[in-house]
């Protein structure tokens, strides 16, 4: 950090730098600095902000909930340790566990067992005081977890206020936070569309989504919580059993996954086998076993705990859906942004109900980690609906062939480059047919230009017949061009032309996203388009672009490179000539946005926000900000030395509030 910088400039630079590291950590999953170095940046920023309070800003990385790495979430010591479960893997082991249970209970007292799924998510403890949600903590090491309260507020089915009377003063419910396959798939589709690597599995994705410094990200991720146990609470005092506890939780407003009862280990085994063979694949979330619990609290007390786990409960794990096969070859697929992904071609093998012959190796670092060579026998695994992955090499081939990144693009033979911050290699030729095809598919996709009828097959034909080389060419297509393709008969051709014509009205945010500029996802495109029109974008420097919230140096560089390039400018000019409106979008107000329908006027000198920041907050929450007070104004927020606007508010009977009161209204 240069000593010549003013505090203001240094703060701005640190904020940008930290945001960029956050992005690398969370979005790219490719951090480029150590946690300690990151902490040092945060500490320096905080120190500067402490010395210069006027430069504080509510959206500074120091003010965000939690932090980018584990060390920045506050530690929470669990009132009672969060234990784990012992595992059993086969019938003999579960029978041995059942025998131990019987041995430790009085003769003739056969237990009833509760059978739950073992959810493959993140353990979380929720604390309520007089029925109100006050804290959430992750499991951590079992003794101390991390405070994720603000993020858990956005886990959809976590009640903020419990129903029912006679709630204890303090109540701690424990359970699992999971992401349904359906939501996981959507998130990964978005990640890929935005040119980012997809999450490996729902668990990882749930963990990343919960430990977000920006709780709004958590909100969009649709996490869910299912109760499985309790911490600081004694339901044993007034409830007889675990099943009664679960029923009580339902009454209080929690989600409880369906459970079954069994009165013998024979029944447990039968249930396990049924689920393993048919049930698991039908569940909407990932599970990795059955949890068998003794139902009666009295019997649980008798059985007690070992140092690590209860004796009254055990996990009966489902076998992972694994198989081994030989890697016959590795091919390279080229994505929309040119990313070259190695894909292993396997000797076809049946695993988890499907035949697998291709498996992605993600990137070359992963190949290095596995030490994989062509000819090796590998163990592959498929969990739920998640794409299969190579777990490890189980048998090295003699004379196996090393897998090196290609020197030339496998599709266009153009040069291949490696980008520093990422572990991937790229084809650097924007006219590479693979990239052109994917770019057009992306351009036409629903969240982009939403051109129905321009699917993968149509794009393939248009590119193969050289009718289209980029998005602008789509708008010069004639009916005869389409009728010359196998896919298009009269009506279909008319429909596509109609769709293309209608897409010309799409606003700038959609076009910006549709262009497929690397690192520019749907949200970033919307944020930028709300603040800059096309003319401003064409003129903007990297620094101008970085003044847009959420745009860090990498995104700014990528955008700038596009708008400054001859190819980018030419494409935009042709799109404009084709009649694309690219108008500034109306700010989208989500239904139920907290400030929807409200108009705020800020007056006087604010100390906690700049005027722009305060107005931005209002807009981001669905409200309007205005410069003058009228009868339509909902609130006038005043700082020091407020004058005529405050008087006018009083005259018109408009409500007023201090800056601190306004701050408290913010979510």
Catalytic residues: 118
Instruction: Identify the residue among 12, 28, 41, 85 touching ligand IVH (CB under 6 A).
Output: 85
Binding mask 136-175 for ligand IVH (x = CB under 6 A): ---x------------------------------------
Q: Which residues pair with 416 in a beta bridge?
A: 427
Q: Which stretch binds ligand IVH (CB under 6 A): 37-45, 82-90, 272-280, 607-615?
A: 82-90
Among 27, 116, 191, 615, binds ligand IVH (CB under 6 A): 116
Pick the piece of the chain touching ligand IVH (CB under 6 A) from 114-122, 395-403, 625-633, 640-648. Answer: 114-122
Q: Judged by CB, which is closer to ligand IVH: 184, or 488?
A: 184
Binding mask 234-273 for ligand IVH (x = CB under 6 A): ----------------------------------------
- Residue 510 tokens read as 């959609």
| Phi then psi dihedrals of residue 506, to 5 deg | -60, 145
Contacts of 216 (CB under 8 A, 6+ apart): 154
Give yes or no for residue 118 binding ligand IVH (CB under 6 A).
yes
**Cα Rg of the chain, angstroms:** 29
Site map (CB under 6 A) of ligand IVH, residues 27-66, x = contact:
----------------------------------------
Residue span binding ligand IVH (CB under 6 A) among the ranges 248-256, 307-315, 490-498, 605-613: 307-315
Number of residues that bind ligand IVH (CB under 6 A): 15
Distances (CA, A) of 147 to 67, 120, 126: 11, 21, 10
Cα→Cα distances 597→324, 519, 581, 634, 661, Å: 59, 33, 28, 9, 19
By C-beta, is 33 or 303 nearer to ligand IVH?
Answer: 303
Which of these ranges, 23-31, 51-59, 112-120, 344-352, lies near ligand IVH under the rule CB under 6 A? 112-120
* Spatial distance between the Cα atoms of 635 and 603, rounded to a whole number of angstroms: 11
Which of 88, 138, 229, 603 touches ligand IVH by CB under 6 A? 229
SS3 282: helix
> How far from 103 is each of 110, 269, 304, 311, CA to CA, in Å?
10, 19, 13, 12
Task: Tell me whether residue 45 or residue 124 sits nearer to ligand IVH (CB atom).
Answer: 124
DSSP 405-447: --SB-TTT--BEEE-TTSS-EEE--TT-HHHHHHHHHHHHSTT
The smaller minimum CB distance to ligand IVH, of residues 206 and 432, is found at 206
How far is 530 from 512, CA to CA, in rounded Å? 11
Q: Which of 20, 22, 27, 176 binds ligand IVH (CB under 6 A)?
A: 176
Spatial contact of 93 and 272, defined as CB atoms under 8 Å apart: no
Residue 120 C-beta: closest distance to ligand IVH, Å = 7
133/316 with CB nearer ligand IVH: 316
Give the span between the Cα atoms of 35 and 525, in whole angstroms.
30
- What does the per-residue mask of binding to ligand IVH show for 411-430, with x meaning CB under 6 A? --------------------
| 223-256 exposure pattern, b = at least 16 Cβ within 10 A, e = fewer | bbbbbbbbbbbebbeeeebbbebbebbeebebeb
**By Cβ distance, which residue is nearest to ligand IVH?**
123
* Chosen residue from 48, 83, 467, 666 binding ligand IVH by CB under 6 A: 83
Question: 84, 358, 630, 660: which one contacts ligand IVH (CB under 6 A)?
Answer: 84
Residue 125 or 436: which CB sits closer to ligand IVH? 125
Indicate whether 386 belongs to the interface with ligand IVH (CB under 6 A). Answer: no
Minimum CB distance to ligand IVH smaller for 24 or for 228: 228
HSE-up of residue 300 (Cα within 13 Å, Cβ side): 21
- Cβ distance 176 to 227 under 8 Å? no
Min dist. Cβ of residue 267 to ligand IVH (A)? 18
Site string for ligand IVH, 352-371 (x = CB under 6 A): --------------------
Q: Is residue 356 within 8 Å of 348, Cβ to Cβ?
A: yes
What is the bridge-based pairing of β-strands 313-317 and 87-88? parallel
Is 228 near ligand IVH (CB under 6 A)? Answer: yes
The Cα–Cα gap between 227 and 174 comes to 6
- What tokens were used for 36? 């300690």
Q: State in angstroms the smallest separation of the CB of 103 from ligand IVH.
A: 21
| CB-nearer residue toward ligand IVH: 77 or 577 | 77
Q: Angle at CA 596, nearest 5°, toward 594 and 602?
A: 90
Structure tokens at 522: 């749907």
Q: How far apart are CA 274 and CA 11, in angstroms?
A: 60
Cβ proximity to ligand IVH, 17 vs 116, nearer residue:
116
Region of 77-85, 469-477, 515-523, 638-646 interacting with ligand IVH (CB under 6 A): 77-85
Do residues 328 and 372 make contact, with C-beta atoms less than 8 angstroms apart? Answer: no
Q: Are 487 and 458 in contact (CB under 8 A)?
A: yes
159 vs 310, which CB is nearer to ligand IVH? 310
266-305 residues near ligand IVH, rule: CB under 6 A: 291
Query: Measured in Å, how far apart are the chain's first and last C-alpha atoms?
Result: 34
Instruction: Kindly list the residues in this chain that would bind ligand IVH in the complex (CB under 6 A).
Output: 83-85, 116, 118-119, 123, 139, 176, 228-229, 291, 310, 313, 315
């Amino acid at each position: 950090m240069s000593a010549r910088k003013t505090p203001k400039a240094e703060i701005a630079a640190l904020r940008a730098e930290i945001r960029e590291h956050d992005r690398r950590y969370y979005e790219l999953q490719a951090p480029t600095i150590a946690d300690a170095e990151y902490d040092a940046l945060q500490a320096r920023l905080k120190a500067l902000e402490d010395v210069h309070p006027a430069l504080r800003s509510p959206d500074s990385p120091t003010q965000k909930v939690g932090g980018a790495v584990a060390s920045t979430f506050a530690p929470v010591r669990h009132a009672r340790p969060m234990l784990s479960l012992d595992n059993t893997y086969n019938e003999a082991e579960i029978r041995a566990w059942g025998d131990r249970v019987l041995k430790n209970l009085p003769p003739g007292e056969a237990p009833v067992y509760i059978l739950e799924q073992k959810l493959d998510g993140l353990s979380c403890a929720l604390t309520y005081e007089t029925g109100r949600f006050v804290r959430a903590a992750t499991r951590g090491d079992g003794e101390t977890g991390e405070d994720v309260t603000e993020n858990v507020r956005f886990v959809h089915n976590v009640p903020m206020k419990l129903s029912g009377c006679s709630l204890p003063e303090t109540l701690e419910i424990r359970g699992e936070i999971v992401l349904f396959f359906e939501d996981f798939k959507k998130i990964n589709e978005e990640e890929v569309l935005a040119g980012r690597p997809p999450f490996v599995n729902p668990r990882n994705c749930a963990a990343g989504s919960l430990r977000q410094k920006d709780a709004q990200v958590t909100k969009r991720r649709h996490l869910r919580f299912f109760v499985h146990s309790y911490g600081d609470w004694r339901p044993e005092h007034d409830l007889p059993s675990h099943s009664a506890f679960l029923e009580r939780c339902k009454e209080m407003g929690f989600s409880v996954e369906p459970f079954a009862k069994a009165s013998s280990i024979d029944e447990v085994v039968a249930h396990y086998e049924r689920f393993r063979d048919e049930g698991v694949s039908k569940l909407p979330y990932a599970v990795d076993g059955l949890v068998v619990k003794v139902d009666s609290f009295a019997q649980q007390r008798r059985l007690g705990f070992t140092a690590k786990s209860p004796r009254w409960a055990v996990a009966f794990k489902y076998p992972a859906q694994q198989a081994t096969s030989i890697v016959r070859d590795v091919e390279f697929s080229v994505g929309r942004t040119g990313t070259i992904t190695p894909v292993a071609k396997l000797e076809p093998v049946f695993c988890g109900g499907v035949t697998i012959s291709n498996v992605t190796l993600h990137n070359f670092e992963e190949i290095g980690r596995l030490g994989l060579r062509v000819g090796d026998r590998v163990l592959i695994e498929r969990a739920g609906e998640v794409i299969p992955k190579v777990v490890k090499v189980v048998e090295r081939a003699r004379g196996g062939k090393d897998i090196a990144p290609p020197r030339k693009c496998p599709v266009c033979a153009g040069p291949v480059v490696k980008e520093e911050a990422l572990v991937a290699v790229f084809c650097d030729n924007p006219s590479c047919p693979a990239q052109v095809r994917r770019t057009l598919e992306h351009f036409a996709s629903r969240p982009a230009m939403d051109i129905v009828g321009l699917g993968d097959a149509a794009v393939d034909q248009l590119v193969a017949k050289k009718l289209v080389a980029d998005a602008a060419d789509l708008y010069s297509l004639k009916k005869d061009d389409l009728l010359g393709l196998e896919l298009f008969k009269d009506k279909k051709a008319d429909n596509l032309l109609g769709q293309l014509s209608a897409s010309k009205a799409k606003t700038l945010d959609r076009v910006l996203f549709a262009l497929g500029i690397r690192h520019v996802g749907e949200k970033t495109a919307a944020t930028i388009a709300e603040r800059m029109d096309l003319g401003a974008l064409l003129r903007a420097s990297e620094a101008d672009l970085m003044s847009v919230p959420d745009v860090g140096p990498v995104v700014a560089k990528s955008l700038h490179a596009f708008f400054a390039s001859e190819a980018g400018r030419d494409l935009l000019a042709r799109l404009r000539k084709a009649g694309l409106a690219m108008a500034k979008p109306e700010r989208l107000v989500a239904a139920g946005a907290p400030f929807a329908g409200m108009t705020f006027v800020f007056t006087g000198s604010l100390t906690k926000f700049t005027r722009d920041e305060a107005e931005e907050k209002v807009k981001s929450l669905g409200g309007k900000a205005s410069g003058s007070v009228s009868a339509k104004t909902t609130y006038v927020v005043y700082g020091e030395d407020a004058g005529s606007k405050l008087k006018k508010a009083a005259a018109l009977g408009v409500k007023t509030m201090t800056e601190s009161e306004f701050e408290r209204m913010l979510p």
